[in-house]
Amino acid sequence: MAMSELHPTHTLPQMLCHQAQHNSAGIAIRQKEHGIWKPLSWAAYFERATHVGLGFKAVGLSEGAHVGVLSENRIEWVLSQLGAGLVGGVTVGVYPTSPTNEIAYVLSHADAEVVVCEDQEQTDKVLQALDQLPRLKKIVVMEKKGLIDTREQAGDMVISFDDLEALGVQSADTALVERVLAHQQLDDTALVIYTSGSTGKPKGAMISYRNIAAMARSTVDRLQLTADTAHLSYLPLCHVAEQMLTSFVPVYLGSRVDFGESIRTVQEDLREVAPSMFLGVPRIWEKLHSAINIKMHEAGPLRRRLFEWGLVECGKFAHKGAADRTLTERLVFGFFYLLMFRALQNFIGLRKVTVALTGAAPISPAIVHFFRTLGVPLIEVYGMTESSGMVLGQRLGTVVRGTVGVPVLGVAHRLSEVGELQIRGDVVFKGYYKNPEATATTLVDGWLHTGDVVQEVQGELKIVDRLKDIMITAGGKNLTPSEIENTMKTSHFIKECVVVADARKFVSALIQIDFEAVSQWAESRNLAFTHFRSLTETPEVRALIDEQVREGNAKLAEVSHIRRFHLLTKELDHDDGEVTATMKVRRASIYKTYATEIEAMYR
């Protein structure tokens, strides 16, 4: 579909209706159930979403009211979202990994009238918070297992998703949907997406249909997507990055989305689907990097040496796009591709991707370089909830290492005196729900103040760090903790690194080992351990991490060297308030929890 055919004047629900009319038999969604991929056409997508929307109205959803969705990615998620939109409702996604107190805060702050839950576990979280949700009228449950017990506990408050759809079928008030679609405007609110809350309470960013249309258009342009693009949806749909590729782009472009059976089956699903586009947050790429290193560690010495040789030779032109390589470079890559890179691409399920993305958090340039060396066309992109998705992105050809590219179609940018990136365009959100003070601080004269410091490198932009995270040592040196942390995390033995440096004499760090990689290393050396803590406290593991830190330090300026570190004896946990649902580190919380250990490093 050409860019001019994306219908940027249509809202997302209007575009779903358009696809149903003009691409009715085309496959919109496939969902894997009991090992079988079941397709849903565009006509059926629109029909089911209509029934879900009318079901919402039947259970009392008010005009313009909010519908919460608390679930892993699956077809019912997008049916709820589009269904709400077809009757004038607004969707609010909630992370299924969130504990009850976080769920209660988001649903209460969002004034949700209906919440759609995946299963009994998620429903129980909502039921525990009922006294904090005075506006909640109905809980809709996707999975029927345990539903009888839940109904006994909550009575008429709970209804199954199937019954909700059936209510919509019985209603048959398609005239209501036609009226909503006829009057829906681009400036209407489509979604309220809550920020991860790494420094405080989550804020609800109001995303309009104009934002969505602009983001779909700019994403298709930058990533050169077509109606033949296939995407496996697995990252949380309450995050704007997954919304961009699961809802925004496919509905405008008419491309296909696949939902696997579970977040736990992603690797298997990738191999089966062989998507042409793949989005991974840095932690996903770090895990894949670690998995490949473990696999090669288990291989024989000959294969390891061949692998290392291939990384060196192909690494020399990894930044180049395939079309920009010389004949010699193509022959060299072809040799190592047939020898082992093809098998490794199959191992991680990415052999057929034409574009792979990393975003949502900083990533080490070495990780990006590694995958590009293997032939995975990984590019860095940058965006935030308040920008409705990607606003900076590398081009698909030759990339400038360590940058996040240039602004996408329709986005203007400028830098403040301190280097803060500020952007303007139709992708900039409407503001924060019920928070005019935060809106006024973030949106100034139409410019979105991102809070990220950037530098220009060879005509492209490089993210330095969050403005609030830049640290100044006791000696007055400015440090960017993300650069230090990401350098350390290139070691497949290190899962998390939290730098301590602000107003300190030197840099120290709290380090969490990668349990899988370190345990395999320990077993190969016959080291005895029983659990995470005992493994961490093994002297040999301490020595291993000390070696990894020294190797990382060698890549950094001396002022950024980690002089001392403390090994965490447990994994950082969302339930303990140490990381967000998107696994972003909550620095203030961690510094408070580990204050004693931090002070010990400076004695």
Question: Could you report the per-residue pLDDT of 225-279, keeping only the tens digit for each?
Answer: 999 999 999 999 999 999 999 999 999 999 999 998 877 888 888 888 889 999 9
Joined tokens for residue 439: 């809106």
| Number of CB atoms found within 10 A of residue 520's CB | 14
pLDDT at residue 23 above 60? yes
pLDDT exceeds cutoff 90 at 154: no
Q: Is 390 in a helix, a strand, or coil?
A: strand
Compute the distance between CA of residue 492 and CA of residue 289 in angstroms, rounded to an integer: 7
**Running DSSP on this structure, what letter comes out for residue 247?**
I
Does residue 47 register a pLDDT over 90? Answer: yes
pTM: 0.85
In what helix (H) or strand (E) does residue 165 lie, and over which residues does it extend?
helix 161-171
| pLDDT, mean of residues 57-77 | 96
Q: What is the mean pLDDT of the chain?
A: 91
Tell me the C-alpha distance between 329 and 319, whole Å.
12
Contact 499, 489 (CB under 8 A): no
The pLDDT value given to residue 199: 60
> Tokens at residue 11, please?
């809202």
Q: What is the pLDDT of residues 199-230, one digit of tens each?
A: 668 899 999 999 999 999 999 999 999 999 99
Strand partners, 40: 29
* pLDDT confidence bin for 3, thresholds 50/70/90: very low
SS3 state of residue 260: coil
pLDDT value, residue 262 = 79
Give, in degrees to the nearest 5, the angle at Cα 373 between 371 and 378.
40
- Measured distance CA(284)–CA(301) in Å, rounded: 27
Question: How far is the C-alpha of 131 from the C-alpha of 108, rounded, in Å?
Answer: 10
pLDDT for 537: 92
Cα(175)–Cα(600) distance, integer angstroms: 69
Q: For 330-342, what is the mean pLDDT?
A: 94
Instruction: Assess contact for 185 and 215: CB atoms under 8 A.
Output: no
Supply 560's token pair: 């950024």
d(CA 4, CA 97): 40
Q: Which residues of 561-587 are buried (b: 16+ CB within 10 A; e: fewer)?
A: ebeebbbbeeebebeebbbbbbbbbbb
Buried b (16+ CB within 10 A) or exposed e, 178-197: eebbeebebebbbbbbbbbb
Q: Which of these, 373, 374, 377, lies nearest to 315 by C-alpha position?
A: 373
Q: With a cut of 90, say whether residue 198 has pLDDT above it.
A: no
**If you count DSSP H runs as helices and E runs as strands, how many of each does the chain have, helices first?**
24, 27
* 493-518 per-residue burial string, b: 16 or more CB within 10 A, e: under 16: bbbbbbbbbeebebbbbbbbbbeebb
What separation in angstroms does the CA of 403 have from each of 16, 473, 485? 35, 26, 17
**For the chain, the helix, strand and coil percentages under 3-state DSSP, each to the nearest 5:** 45, 20, 35
Structural domains in the chain, sorted by start: 7-184 (3.40.50.12780), 471-601 (3.30.300.30)
pLDDT tens, 377-396?
Answer: 999 999 999 999 999 999 99
